[in-house]
Amino acid sequence: MKLILASRSPRRQELLAMTGFPFEVAPSPCDEEKVLRQWEQSDTDLNERSLVERLALAKATTSLREHPDCLILGADTIVSLDGELFGKPKDEDDARRMLRTLAGRTHTVDTGVALLTATFSDVFSNVSHVTFHPLSPVIESLIDRYVATGLPLDKAGAYGIQELGGLLISRIEGDFFSVMGLPISEVYKRLAAFDID
C-alpha cells in the first residue's frame, strides 16, 4: 500500500522520512478555515484536542478522495494559551504580537494525526506544554531577528522549535517532535502495522 503524506509542511516531511517508510507528498486540498468556521457555528464546546483531531481527519478524508487506494497521513498542530488559539500569523506584526504574548508563559501544543484508508481509520493526538523565556531586551531582540527571517509566518504560534524560535523556549514537557509537527515515534509504531510499499 502506498503511503501519502497529506501535508505541505517540510517539517512533517523531514520527520516522516526518519521512519524509513517510502511515501509521497500530496498536500490535502482541505479548506481548513471553512471547516473551522462550520465547527465553530455547530459545536461551540470543541476543545483543542478534539479540534486538532478533527482537522487532521478532515485533511486525510479530503485526500483519500483523490487517492482512494492509499494510506493517508493527515496532521494538524494547534498552539493555545488560556483558551485562545494561536494559528499562523497574518503578517510580521501579528507574529511579533504572538511571540510577545507567549513570552514568560506556558502554552499548549496539540498535534493531531489521522491515518486513513478506505476501510480503516485511526485518529489520535499528542499534547505538550512549552514555556517561553520572559520578555527581556535579549528576548525582544531575538523575536525581532526571528520575525525578520520570515520563518514564523507559516507556523502555528509563530515559531518552530527546530529553528531560531527554539531559542525562545526555556522548558518543554512532552514530545519535541510533536511540537515540531508530528509525534513521529507514535506514528512509526502505528505505520509498522501496514504493508507499505
Active site residues: 76
Name every residue whose Cβ is closer than 8 Å to that of residue 64 and which is 6 or more positions away in sequence.
70, 72, 116, 117, 118
Distance, in Å, from the CA atom of 159 to the CA atom of 197, rounded to the nearest integer, reads: 34
HEC per residue, the chain? CCEEECCCCHHHHHHHHCCCCCCEECCCCCCHHHHHHHHHHHCCCCCHHHHHHHHHHHHHHHHHHHCCCCEEEEEEEEEEECCEEECCCCCHHHHHHHHHHHCCCEEEEEEEEEEECCCCEEEEEEEEEEEECCCCHHHHHHHHHHHHCCHHHHCHHHCCCCCHHHHHEEEEECCHHHHHCCCHHHHHHHHCCCCCC
Phi and psi dihedrals of 54, rounded to 5?
-65, -40
